[in-house]
Structure formats: C-alpha cells, structure tokens
Chains A and B, each alone.
Chain A
C-alpha cells in the first residue's frame, strides 16, 4: 500500500480522500436527474482514463475508441439477452473480445509502421466497420437495436445488473476509483516508464533496450480491455443498444474530450476533465431550459468551443496549472 502511495504529496492524498467521500455520499442527497448526471460524469471519467492509457501514456492517438465501448456492450448484452448469462461472467467475453480487437489493430498498425495521424484514421476506420457491420448482424438485432428486458424491480439485482440508478452510480464510482489506482500503479511500474519513454522518443527508447512494439501493444490491449467494461455498464444502464449510436464517431470524439481538456498523460486529467465538461454542459442545459431554448447541437458547440479554448491557451490541459496552484506536482 505504501509503495502505491509513494510519490503522492500529503495534500494530494487528503484531496483524494475528500473527493472520494464526497462522491460516496452524493447519492444520499441527489436523486433522479442529478444522480444521472453524476453517473454520466463518472462514466466519462472512467472511459477517459481508459483512453488516456493509450494516448497519454503510450502516445497513440485513437479516434475510434467507441469500437471497444460497443464491442464490450454488445458482447455482455447479447449473452444476457440470449442466454440469461450474468454480466459479471459476460464481461469476461467483453474484455476478451476487446483485447483481441485492440491487439489486432495494434498488430496491424505497429507491424506495418502505421503511426500518428494514419493510426488515428485507421482506428476510425475500424470503428466505422463495426458500426456498419453490427447494423447487419442479426444476432444482435442489427439496426433495430438490442433491448435488455427491464422488469419492475423491488430490490437491486447486482448479479444481473438490474437495479436502481443508485446501484449503477456506486458501481461506476468503484470502476473509476479502481481505474485510478490501476493507472497510478501502471505509471510507476517499469512498463509505465517505458511507455513514457516511447511517447517522448521511440528511437531513444529502443536504443535503451525497450521493445517498442511489445509495449505499444500492451498499452493498446490494456486500454481496450478497460474500455470494454464501460461498454458493459453502458448496456445495462441504458438497456438499449444501436450500432448507429454506440459505434458512432461522435461518441469516440466525446469520450476523448475529457482527458484532452483535463490533461493528457496525467492521472487526474481525465477525471477533472469529465467533471468540468459534463458539469458545465448540464449547467448550460439547465440554463437553456430556463430560458426556454431547446435547440439540439448547442451542447456540442459548447464542447467544441471548450476544446478549442483549451487547445489554444492551455495545451497541457486544465489540470497541470491547477495542480501547480494547489501545490501538488504532476
């Protein structure tokens, strides 16, 4: 435990503990709409962390991460719908499938030297493939959508992930906290150092004995596997899946906004970004509702403007300067 906490300044630990406590008691005061927003924030914080492993740690820009969300979602959901298989077992299939997909993409990309922007476009292509492919896949009901049976429940069924929003909230909180701990451990490991080295200069890393291909693959597979769990949560929370929506490129863009705005490559960045973005967006929505404006697209323009401003004026994200102000380093 102490090894895990090594390197984290005291003040940071207190802040983390305070935040965790706050998040834990939040559902006791909030319900309905606010609880849903809370879930959404945690969802984006989690999936942003997963994406950050590939981009922030290993420097590989993926613009097709919705692929893993979708695959993870459909795998667990389809197994539940067709065989009544508990998602806790089904998620094994989700993780395996996404790890395989990630490995395939990674293998094709890295073996053939597809990097940078080309890699990003390749990831988009694979997500699009899935979108169109799943539209024609009868086993998951194609474009008509896959619906999970929702019965009126009196108590939470954790085993089948049927339950109240509060149950989902706590699950998501556990996932996000777990991801945070995992990423922290990864960064401090040998692999973490190698990832950072590859991100900065793959050539120099190789000259120091780092098998760049292997470590890039690890990053891609871990990121994909982590993202698959977000998909499982998505499926069982919303109870319906459409290829057109879940594999959509706008989903891929949406989930990277948090980490970019918060700060790529940092541990807290994706979390800060998710809070900021979703929080502000919902605030904007409320404001518009009060003013009686109901126009689709305003939220996205808001996201775009945030992204633009952050890229232009805070290229490392919101978190690093904030961390400095708070007296925490890195």
Chain B
C-alpha cells in the first residue's frame, strides 16, 4: 500500500528534524533523547502508550516548552525555544488533544483568526477562511457559534483553523479520538487530499491504528519518553519491542 509520497521516490528532504530532545518536569523525564525526522511532503505518525511523551514532543515542537536538551529544526532552521506564535509564523500549525474552539465566535470567525496570520486584511482573511471551511465540510455551519458544534465538527474546526495559517507542517494531536469510523474515514480523506494536492507535511499522534495505517508513510514509536522504533508501517507493526510495549500480539490492523 505504497502512498504517492513513496511512489514519487521523494528526494527525502527533511522538513522537521528532532535530535536528542529531552524534556523533564520536576525531575520526571517525559522525553529522553528523542530523535527522528519527518520528510517533506510525507505523513508521519507518532504512536505509543499513554504517557509515552507524545504530546510533550508536540509541545516542544510547537514552542509551548523549550527542550532541556537537543534541537528541533524546521527546514534546517532551529526553532527550539521559540514562542508558539513564532513557531506558527514559521509555518507549523497544530491542533490540541482537547479541542479549544473560540466558543463565543462563529465557525467562520474561528477560522479567520487563523487566516489573519497570513492575510492582514480582514476581508481577504474571511475569503481564505471561507474556502477552508468549505473544504472541511463545515460550510453549512459557517455562521453558527462554535459552542453549538458536535465533537466531530469541533475537531474539523480545529483542523480548519490550523490550516488557515497556511502551514507547511501540520501537527495533529489525536484528532480521531471520539470519532466514529465513518467520521474517521471522512477526515482521513481530507488529510490525504491535502497531502497529495498541496504537499502538506503531516505529523500525527494517534491511537486509532486504523487511521495510522491508512495515512502514515512512516511511523515513530515512543515508549517511556524514548524512541523505540522507526520505519515503514509494515516493519514497525511487526517489531517485537513495539508489540510488547504497545500493540500487543493480538493486534489486528
């Protein structure tokens, strides 16, 4: 099941590179010496049991935390230690595990906040936002307050908002959680399309293996804050260390 990215025989340019990243909280090491990279135009999945340090890595990349050790490079440029808004300006968009809609604003206004990052003019931003809202299937609900949306729609909104900042790399944090299989498939299709049509690089944290196998060209497995496996999906899911720590021998893909 080779994905278009692989088929193109990509000259594997690294969009994102983590080298030796460590982060501790109050003496507890959440991430230890993590190193991996994400190819430009590729889709990479970060998996592992709860508490493995996945969201911490996201937060380090996104600038919420500065790493204690190690570097994060985006297109070769060091971004570790930058503020989250600077990371966004550099071209990285992210979603949150617990969605954070701007409840009092409408759907389109939510997305406009993202669009205003690239389009200073409010009218142009609205246009940009409207396009993305359509794309994510929220067109009919564009004027509704974000607080009135169902969970799947809130997840779509979260993604739309991040996309409005026109990122080169999109960080998705457990977008599938709480979605039914059909809803999952719908969103998977959107991501596939964005990756194919615009070469959007995606790094996703996921527990829903269905989504991981459908999207990922490359998987990084985290356990107790360390990278224990890296590689193509079919290799990783057969890796004994991964099976033992996370997937379990009976896992069906």
Contact = CB atoms under 8 A, between A and B. Distances in A.
User: Is there a contact between chains A and B in the complex with CB atoms less than 8 Å apart?
Assistant: yes
B109 interface: yes
Given A200-B105, A203-B96, A204-B102, A194 B84 contact: no
Interface in B173-226: none
Contacts of B105: 196-197, 200
Contact of B113 (A189, A194, A203, A265): A194
A237 interface: no
B231 interface: no
Given A193-B109, A194-B113, A201 B102 contact: yes
A190 interface: yes
Interface residues of B, number: 29
A207 B117 CA distance: 11
B104 A193 contact: no
A136 B20 CA distance: 59
A208 B100 contact: no
B116 interface: yes
Interface string B100-121: 1111110001001110110011
B56 interface: no
Contact of B62 (A207, A210, A212): A207
Interface in A198-242: 199-201, 203-212
Contacts of A207: 62, 84-85, 88, 93-94, 96, 162
11 contacts: A189-B122, A190-B121, A193-B116, A196-B109, A200-B101, A201-B101, A204-B100, A206-B85, A208-B161, A209-B89, A210-B85
Given A201-B101, A206-B83, A207-B162, 19 more contacts: A188-B122, A190-B122, A190-B125, A193-B112, A193-B116, A194-B113, A196-B102, A196-B105, A197-B113, A203-B100, A207-B84, A208-B88, A208-B114, A208-B117, A209-B85, A209-B117, A210-B85, A210-B113, A210-B117
Interface of B: 62, 83-85, 88-89, 93-94, 96, 100-105, 109, 112-114, 116-117, 120-122, 125, 161-162, 164-165
